[in-house]
Amino acid sequence: MNENKIRQILEQPFDPSLIKTRPGSFGQDLSYVEGHEYIKRLNEAYDGQWSFDVVSHEVDDKEAIVVGKLTAGGIVKSAFGGSDIKRAKESGEIISLADDLKAAATDSLKKCASLFGVGLHLYGDSPSEKSAPKNSGNGNGAAKTNGNAPSNGGNNGNNGEEKNRLSSRQLGMILGLARERQINRDKLNGMTDERFNRPLEFITKSEASWLIQELQAA
């Protein structure tokens, strides 16, 4: 299958019947598609010739975090994934850490697949069509994005993006500060989407530094 056909399959929007919603930050609903649909899409595009590996994982009291790597068509994409730790209401004991890690791995797979172009329409308009993120009131007008929004894949120019993406240490610091201030993952994604037009896992190192400063000042 040629590259254009593969890209067409990857970027084909999901059927509306597959799209579900869940409550997000700022009173908005977040659209999502279940992980097995991403797997079906990757299988269709690459005839099953792709792989996903968990590079690393972390678990704290509230969240499981996974860094995954998706390899397909000679291209490698990496992304963070996360899932809240589910606990029994009465005892507070963890119900199934394995299930939480699997959910985090699935989230990572979906984020990686989005870098190939799968499900980008679920993030809203494409980065070029979105309005520029708001500047934090410094009088210089709208801030410019740096082009590191989720890529639609299909090329080998992702190495710079991967290197420039926030580090696991920055992510850990952000999540720790957020927990101290009772800010959940959806609200964090809302903050980065409003400021940079992309969710937390796709921000750059410099953008992560800005977010850390904002959380420390909160």
What ranges do the domains of the chain cover?
A: 3-130+148-217
Q: Which two tokens stand for residue 106?
A: 């699935």
User: Against a cut of 0.85, is the pTM above it?
Assistant: no
CA pair distance 52, 70, nearest whole angstrom = 4
Greater confidence (161 vs 125) lies with 161
DSSP SS3 for 72: strand
Percent of the chain whose predicted confidence (pLDDT) is above 70: 78
Task: Judge whether residue 84 has pLDDT over 80.
Answer: yes
Under 8 Å CB-to-CB from 217, ≥6 apart: which residues? none
At the topology level of CATH, where does 3-130+148-217 sit? Enolase-like; domain 1 (3.30.390)
Q: Which run of H or E residues covers position 106?
A: helix 97-115
Greater confidence (128 vs 91) lies with 91
